[in-house]
Structure 1
């Protein structure tokens, strides 16, 4: 399995392409710049199977409809944010951008934790609310990576001042769902560079003293 980080959209949100030896891939959080992303995928001769969303803020969903028009693949989102894709007030685009982002509803709704199987990809779904009520992280144990969205960053955590945000809930999510992963787990965040669970346990100032 291989992964590639591609910053996209107005906030340079990290989109990830997670691929296997068969050239199948999953697309995680395509925030914008759809044609750039499509070009990268085509040049690598990859076959997208699905789009996974860690949450539905505007900077994570901007390329959804263009990608679905290109490949006719399903979008997965947590049930707590299924209405956000088509509502610019919920996904935040009407407050942070000149134009609203409203995209089609997701084809697949995640109702809770468990194992998500798509092709030969198997990811453990971890509910990590706090940054938003439907935030979810995807953990791939064989590769030792977790796609944490905007829950946990290198040296920081997600903001909680947006609708549905809850600081105490986010801290609890990080400690109970992410910091319990193996310390060597690579954390692939929604913004910035990758980090490890060990590094955040030792030096993240927002998690000290909990």
Structure 2
């Protein structure tokens, strides 16, 4: 397993308490054991005036609610929950949170089968990555969950659901866009704000070796491709990294690991894009040799 080490100076963010790390005045995240959730909205945003990005592991509802209360106030609820994809570590608390806050949940339409109760993800590949997290992957939940009528498709124009705060900050910082970045999952998305070059990459690239329990526990910061055991389309994953590297972000938060920023991060992202096959492709990966199939037998592929 190869990686691109990142200088500690690339790690960015200010600890504001309760485990909430602020990386922009209106962007913060909370790390929950294995995965990050992000909050889009300024400190003190009023009720229905901010967005939650992803929903962590099952059982993480109290921590997410506490982090949201710390940043926005105990009575403040999001306007919506945005899911970058539907893997178990990103949707664990989404049913509880969407019911608690009475909010819609937005995801790419290609992820909807895993969110409306109709399909499971293909099986993971436990042999890749050489770490305990990979070896344990056969026991990870593959869904589906059923969000019922709370489930919504992300807007076709690439925008995010609007809030008063997002409209206000768009005037100064620019609007958020979602980008289709498949490979790790068929409907995976990343979030991008051009004006200040802020990237929420989700699992298209990550800043820790997610296959290794030791690396996760030590929070060692290094740039990797997507978590190997759940990545089913490596050609699409390479294309997604190339797309993100071309953005030249100033600051990047991934779904796993710490937020990073600056020239060292951009160079690492460029190097990963340029040498993706040698750095990120796992040796003897099942899904490099055998196209993934969904549980119903239909092809698990990205659209043209």
Q: How does 1:73-152 map to 2 (within 5 A)?
A: 73-85=103-115, 86=117, 89-90=120-121, 95-97=138-140, 102-105=145-148, 106-110=150-154, 112=156, 114-120=158-164, 121=166, 122-152=175-205
Normalising by structure 2, report the TM-score.
0.59
Alpha carbons 1:55, 1:77 under 8 Å: kept: yes
Instruction: Point out where structure 1 has 5 or more consecutive residues left out of the alignment.
Output: none
* Runs of 4 or more consecutive aligned structure 1 residues displaced over 6 Å after TM superposition: 91-94, 98-101
Normalising by structure 1, report the TM-score.
0.83
Q: Does 2:36 match 1:14?
A: yes
Instruction: Give the aligned partner of residue 72 of structure 1.
Output: 102
Structure having the higher Rg: 2
Alpha carbons 1:137, 1:149 under 8 Å: kept: yes
Alpha carbons 2:30, 2:67 under 8 Å: kept: no
Aligned residues: 205
Q: Does 2:255 match 1:190?
A: yes
Q: Distance in 2 between matches of 1:189 and 1:179?
A: 13
Q: Distance in 2 between matches of 1:202 and 1:82?
A: 35
The root-mean-square deviation of aligned C-alpha atoms, in Å, is 2.9
Q: Which structure would you say has the larger RCO, counting Cα contacts within 8 Å and 6 or more residues apart? A: 2
Q: Distance in 1 between matches of 2:157 and 2:67?
A: 31
Q: Which is strand-richer, 1 or 2?
A: 1
Q: Distance in 2 between matches of 1:65 and 1:88?
A: 17
Q: Does 2:226 match 1:158?
A: yes
Instruction: Point out where structure 2 has 5 or more consecutive residues left out of the alignment.
Output: 1-24, 125-136, 167-174, 208-222, 277-304
Q: Which is helix-richer, 1 or 2?
A: 2
Instruction: Give the aligned partner of residue 26 of structure 1.
Output: 51
Per-residue deviation at 1:200? 4.4
Alpha carbons 1:127, 1:135 under 8 Å: kept: yes
Q: Alpha-carbon deviations, 1:122-172, whole Å to 9, x = none? A: 421111001111011111234431111100123111035537x21121111
| More displaced stretch, 83-92 vs 134-143 | 83-92
Instruction: Give the aligned partner of residue 247 of structure 2.
Output: 181
Alpha carbons 1:89, 1:95 under 8 Å: kept: no
- Alignment match of 1:41 (pick from 53, 61, 68): 68
